[in-house]
């Protein structure tokens, strides 16, 4: 399946105001196993599954940790009275490139600007290190994801 590479413009999403959710950097990925598992389970039950990436909590949790040559930063969106985790983005930095690894928003919280705000946080995090542009790869049959990235970015079709 063809992969589309999206090049995220600096500042994309930065003006997004999200009234109901808060974005914060995750300083201890090992502490958010429970909330991430709950988020992934909520996504898996919904009809969009099959037209987007297959997400498994063990796969996502395994991608949160940095390893030699690969720094992984993550930001989460929390919402509701109990601060439920409703979204996550990871930023993967290597010597050669900086890219979005995972981006996931709870189905009940989509189309409220949370995806945009998470990406803006990741792009700002890359800029703090003097890195960019940030890219994101999407399979061409992931319709929602393709529409999302096209709304945010200039697409180079790589």
Binding of ligand COA by 116 (CB under 6 A):
yes
Rounded Cα distance between 85 and 98, Å, is 24
Which residue sits closest to ligand COA, CB atoms considered?
115
- Pattern of binders to ligand COA over 69-108, x per CB under 6 A? ----------------------------------xxx---
Binding of ligand COA by 33 (CB under 6 A):
no
| Residue 105 neighbours by CB under 8 Å, 6+ apart | 77, 86, 87, 114, 115, 118
Residue selected from 53, 61, 124, 155 as contacting ligand COA according to rule CB under 6 A: 53
Strand order in the sheet with 134-139: 21-26, 71-79, 84-93, 98-105, 134-139, 3-8, 154-155
Binding site for ligand COA (CB under 6 A): 52-53, 103-105, 110-116, 136, 138, 142, 144-145, 147-148, 151
């Amino acid at each position: 399946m063809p992969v589309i590479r999206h090049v995220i413009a600096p500042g994309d999403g930065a003006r997004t105001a999200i009234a109901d959710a808060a974005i914060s950097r995750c300083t201890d990925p090992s502490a958010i196993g429970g909330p991430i598992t709950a988020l992934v389970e909520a996504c898996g039950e919904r009809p969009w599954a099959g037209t987007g990436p297959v997400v498994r909590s063990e796969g996502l949790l395994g991608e949160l940790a940095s390893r030699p040559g690969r720094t992984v930063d993550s930001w989460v969106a929390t919402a509701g009275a109990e601060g439920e985790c409703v979204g996550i983005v990871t930023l993967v930095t290597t010597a050669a490139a900086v890219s979005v690894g995972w981006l996931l928003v709870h189905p009940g919280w989509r189309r409220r600007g949370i995806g945009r705000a998470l990406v803006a946080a990741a792009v700002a995090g890359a800029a703090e290190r003097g890195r960019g542009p940030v890219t994101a790869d999407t399979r061409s049959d992931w319709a929602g994801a393709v529409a999302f990235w096209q709304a945010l970015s200039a697409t180079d079709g790589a």
